[in-house]
Amino acid sequence: MSLAAAPLVRDWLGVEGDRAVIRTGKVDFGQRITTALLRIACEELTLPPDRIRVAPVRTGAAPDEGITSGSNSVEQSGHALRCATATAREAAAALAAQELGLDPARLTLADGVFAAPGGANRIDLLPLIARLNPALAVNASAPASPRRAHDAPLAPRGLRAMVEGRYAFLQDLDMPGMWHARVVRPPHALARLKSLDPEAVTAVEETGQRVIRDGSFLAVAGPAEWPVLRASLRLARGCDWDLGEGLPEGSPFDRLDTDPAISLPVAPGGKPEKGSLPPPLDSFTHRLRVERPNTLHGSLGPSAALTVWEEDVLRITTHSQGIYPLRDSIADSLGLDPDTVEITHHPAAGCYGHNGADDAAFEAALVARALPGTPILLKWAREDEHAWEPAAPAMAIDLAARVKGGQITGWSGEARGDTHRGRPRPGPDRAGPQRLLANRFRIDPMAPYSGQPNMNRHGGLHRNLDPIYDFASRRLVKHLVPDGPIRSSALRCLGAVANVWAIESLVDQIAGETLQDPIAFRLAHLDDPRAITVLEGLRDSLGPAPEGRGIAYAQYKNAQTRCAIAVDLTVTDHAELRLDRIAIVADAGRIVDEDGLRAQLEGGALQGASWALYEEVRWDRDGMLTRDWDSYPVIRFDNIPEIAITLIDRPEDPSVGAGEASPPPTVAAIANAVHAATGLRLTRMPFTPDALQKAALEA
Amino acid sequence: MGAGPALVSLTLNINGTDRVVDSDPDTPLIFVLRDELGLKGAKLGCGLEQCGCCAVLADGEVALSCATPAAVFEGKEIVTIEGIGARAMGAAVQDAFVAASAAQCGYCTAGLVVAVTGLLETNPAPTRDETAEALTPHLCRCGSHPRVFRAVEIAAAATDR
């Protein structure tokens, strides 16, 4: 996909003096994709990292790589960059050989210099690359450089500055004449601004600040942040809201069975199809339903954007994961030519998916439009982020299995939930603008986006719905239940969390009931040799099993990183889960950045543990109830297990995405460990003490 | 400018230097640090003292700066992340965080470096449980906790005399 949109070598690689410049459309939010890309360029060009610059990710200059999501960056941008730099290296070698009158095969390349045998004749690589034909196309099968054994680990970019407090996040940016801005939010998404007390507006504007209103969208801007924050509170007191009927109450799961759904069969292999649903599985012996609530991205830094409305261009600095789709959606919202909107990515806190970044960018644009020429740094409050970011949709998974002779011979999986596709991107019916929060509140408000089914292989709801095991027959169905009570979108792993948790719970249950070892039982249903190596690696790495040990295995999208997990935990007298140890074995193909890979796997395991133990979005008719870190707790330092990671490097195999590999099997392994420790099969996240006690009473 | 709240003059000792600022007396310390003194290392994460991104040292104790008015810090020696490297322990902690690659997005990192420095200055050899207790007011959303524990061990070993 990346090479189709940006097919030329110069789309990815340039030369600037004695440095190479690499370009990517993928953005870094702590997952270290730029470190991985830098490593790839270092390997292919044989240059040290300080001779390679990663260009800013900006519309008009960066290749259009859509959205940084789905653990695709190493496979898309990484592959494209590897091929582009390898193509350039080969073409430069041909030029060098020509000049030296030698066969290119006789040249060696080291430290960015071609050398003839004996080393007498030497030519620098970069000036040759600068001379390459600008129309040179990337050769998608250019041979990758053999890895150099002496490659030292690359420190993550910016780490030294981070520990010294010098690293500037988007929230830290400053410009001459810059103003700060905050949005005054309604009590909930269905409320409308009936009236705004003129005295409140006067009180704020008398202090030199400005009130910006567009229908029910209300914001305040001024020269300093704290006074603006206070002004937003003053304005909030002057708002009279029409609360309408309030938010729909009731279980977010019950509606998944009763509200209108778009139901589609999913073929084995994970691709949804149009057509009639397969008949139910006959003579099943086991069934299980699990339910995952809405959960938050919960970025540690509330979303922000820096925007200036200049005479002929709207400049936006954002931490969005998709600068091109956002540009088109904002341009459409404001009736602008996309070429007059320039969007630059700048890092902020980790996002883990579609958080408030895009919405903040558009809101900053609305404020900047009212204050042309003044740079506007708009920041969300903590409460904004918790109550207004698009949450992961609630999901319910219904499984049934037929067991014969200790083997699973038939399988049925049905996934239900609202959309994961809340990101602003162009589409029919102005789908881009529909998915920007502020457009719901402006004059002539737009209706919220109504989810359309994702037809991609292992897309949203049906990501990892297809079991990785070779069950003889399987029927798979997805039910998109759109128009849910709260806005939903993409959160790390999408549907894979609920699907893997469900599958691995039922597999675990059947193994237990048929008195089979959980790893041996899984191995008996796998024929992928790499999966078998991963699971055997896990088995061999484990010490004697404590009471509360759970096992799980998954391969993300059944195509990316293979990941086996064992969780050891203890249930306290207060029914709290204490995480003791997590063992991870993973195969991500050819390892690009080993330390970055480990960081993704262990960070993912802890995020998965946090979802499993703590996280649930709650609301009532008056609005969101989870508005801060007390009402929406997440994992903290007091429950961090020891984590042991074993990596299986496959230098001859393609590198595959790893950022979302570990959370789903971690959730499943925790559930299985709880079952091992207590005999209780928990079927609704989070696994709180209340949930455990309730399950014990019902058992 | 029109009628805002009356400003008062505050003298704050920050990173060893007295700084005089005119401030609305309710202003939390972090806004004075970031917007009036240009010290943007402390991060605003919640404004509710729930996440620890804004930590500073006040008279050697870890203090959160996002909700408590700056006036409360008058008369105390405040050390921010920008000044932490001037302390032997702070520099060791910074090196240890780098050695352990103890950050992903890095938004929590400044607060954690301050908190670990405060911990090790009072307890040079904390147990894992003591470290966990001291850091539990701090959130990390990327899951770099195991590396932070490792950084604490590295810093403690490096400063063990």
Residues of A in contact with B133 (CB under 8 A): 638
Name the residue among B5, B31, B110 with its Cβ closest to that of A165. B110
- Full 3-state SS string of A50-97: HHEEECCCECCCCCCCCCCCCCCHHHHHHHHHHHHHHHHHHHHHHHHH
B88 and B148 in a single domain? The answer is yes
B148 and B120 in a single domain? The answer is yes
The first and second tokens of residue B89, run together, are 């322990």
The first and second tokens of residue A267, run together, are 């073929």
The Cβ-side half-sphere exposure at A484, using a 13 Å CA radius, reads 32
Domain termination site, one of B30, B64, B80: B80
B39 and B72 in a single domain? The answer is yes
Name the residue among A158, A226, A381 with its Cβ closest to that of B24. A226
Q: Is the CB of residue A124 less than 8 Å away from at least one CB of chain B?
A: no
Which residues, given as ranges, of chain B have pLDDT below 70? Answer: 1-4, 161
Name the residue among A166, A207, A382 with its Cβ closest to that of B3. A207
Report d(CA A581, CA A566) in Å as an integer.
8
Residues of A in contact with B47 (CB under 8 A): 381-382
Give residues with Cβ within 8 angstroms of B83, minimum separation 6.
B14, B15, B16, B90
Q: Is the CB of residue A164 less than 8 Å away from at least one CB of chain B?
A: yes
Domain termination site, one of B80, B108, B136: B80
Model pLDDT for residues A344-357, shown as the tens digit of each residue: 999 999 999 999 99
Q: Is the CB of residue A167 less than 8 Å away from at least one CB of chain B?
A: yes
Task: Identify the CATH number of the domain in which residue B13 sits.
Answer: 3.10.20.30
Residues of A in contact with B80 (CB under 8 A): 165
Instruction: Report pLDDT for B1.
Output: 42
Name the residue among A156, A347, A637 with its Cβ closest to that of B135. A637
- Full 3-state SS string of A449-489: CCCCCCCCCCCCCCCCCCCCCCCCEEEEEEEECCCCCCCEC
Beta strand pairing call for A304-309 and A113-115: unpaired
Number of independent structural domains in chain B: 2
User: Residues A59, A341: contact at Cβ < 8 Å?
Assistant: yes
The first and second tokens of residue A113, run together, are 């210099």
Model pLDDT for residues B12-37, shown as the tens digit of each residue: 999 999 999 998 889 999 999 999 99
Report if residue B3 sits inside a domain. no
Instruction: Report pLDDT for A412.
Output: 98
Report d(CA A344, CA A388) in Å as an integer.
23
| CATH number of this structure's domain A171-244+297-388, picked from the four choices 1.20.1530.20, 3.30.565.10, 3.40.50.2300, 3.30.365.10 | 3.30.365.10
Locate tokens 């810059």: which residue? A178
Find which of B10, B80, B105, B138 to mutate to test the A interface (most A CBs within 10 Å of its CB).
Answer: B105
Interface of A with B in 355-384 (CB under 8 A): 379, 381-382
B13 and B60 in a single domain? The answer is yes
Instruction: Report pLDDT for A604.
Output: 98
Interface of A with B in 312-351 (CB under 8 A): 347-350
Q: Can A2-139 and A171-244+297-388 be said to share one CATH topology?
A: yes
Locate tokens 């950084």: which residue? B151
Instruction: Report pLDDT for A351.
Output: 95
How many C-beta neighbours within 10 Å does residue A529 have?
8
Average pLDDT for chain A: 95
Report d(CA A489, CA A418) in Å as an integer.
9
User: Distance from CA of residue A271 to its chain's centroid?
Assistant: 21
B45 and B108 in a single domain? The answer is no
Name the residue among B27, B48, B149 with its Cβ closest to that of A226. B27
Instruction: For residue A301, give how far its alpha carbon lies from the nearest alpha carbon of chain B (Å).
Output: 5
**CA neighbor of A467 nearest in space, from A407, A540, A554, A539:** A554
Domain regions of chain A by residue span: 2-139, 171-244+297-388, 395-419+454-698
Contact B103 A168 (CB under 8 A): no
Report d(CA A216, CA A242) in Å as an integer.
10
The length of chain A is 699
Interface of A with B in 483-512 (CB under 8 A): none
Instruction: Report pLDDT for A72.
Output: 87
Task: Identify the CATH number of the domain in which residue B126 sits.
Answer: 1.10.150.120
Report if residue B14 sits inside a domain. yes
Locate tokens 């006067």: which residue? A202
User: Residues A417, A390: contact at Cβ < 8 Å?
Assistant: no
CATH topology assigned to domain A2-139: Aldehyde Oxidoreductase; domain 4 (3.30.365)
B120 and B61 in a single domain? The answer is no
**CA neighbor of A352 nearest in space, from B113, B143, B97:** B143
Q: What single-letter DSSP state applies at residue A536? A: H
- Structural domain containing residue B20: 8-80
The first and second tokens of residue A498, run together, are 């609920």
Q: Is the CB of residue A226 less than 8 Å away from at least one CB of chain B?
A: yes
Instruction: For residue B83, give how far its alpha carbon lies from the nearest alpha carbon of chain A (Å).
Output: 9
Three-state secondary structure call for residue A412: strand
Give residues with Cβ within 8 angstroms of A52, minimum separation 6.
A19, A20, A21, A22, A38, A41, A42, A45
Interface of A with B in 633-652 (CB under 8 A): 634-638, 640, 642-643
User: Residues A71, A652: contact at Cβ < 8 Å?
Assistant: no
Contact A640 B132 (CB under 8 A): yes
Q: What single-letter DSSP state applies at residue A8? A: B
Instruction: Report pLDDT for A152.
Output: 65
Residues of A in contact with B143 (CB under 8 A): 602-607
Instruction: Report pLDDT for A265.
Output: 98
Q: What single-letter DSSP state applies at residue A581? A: E
Which residues, given as ranges, of chain A have pLDDT below 50? Answer: 149-150
CATH topology assigned to domain A395-419+454-698: Aldehyde Oxidoreductase; domain 4 (3.30.365)
Domain termination site, one of B80, B106, B135: B80
Report d(CA A21, CA A178) in Å as an integer.
31
Report if residue B68 sits inside a domain. yes
Residues of A in contact with B93 (CB under 8 A): 163
Give residues with Cβ within 8 angstroms of A131, minimum separation 6.
A95
Report d(CA A286, CA A506) in Å as an integer.
8
Name the residue among B39, B97, B101 with its Cβ closest to that of A599. B101
Contact A159 B138 (CB under 8 A): no
Report d(CA A490, CA A70) in Å as an integer.
9
Report d(CA A36, CA A597) in Å as an integer.
9
Q: Is the CB of residue A628 less than 8 Å away from at least one CB of chain B?
A: yes
B37 and B95 in a single domain? The answer is no
Residues of A in contact with B104 (CB under 8 A): 30-32, 156, 350, 599, 603
The first and second tokens of residue A677, run together, are 């420790």
Q: Which residue of A has its CA nearest to B149?
A: A637
Q: Is the CB of residue A156 less than 8 Å away from at least one CB of chain B?
A: yes
Instruction: For residue B161, give how far its alpha carbon lies from the nearest alpha carbon of chain A (Å).
Output: 24
Instruction: Report pLDDT for B4.
Output: 65
Residues of B in contact with A640 (CB under 8 A): 132, 145-146, 149
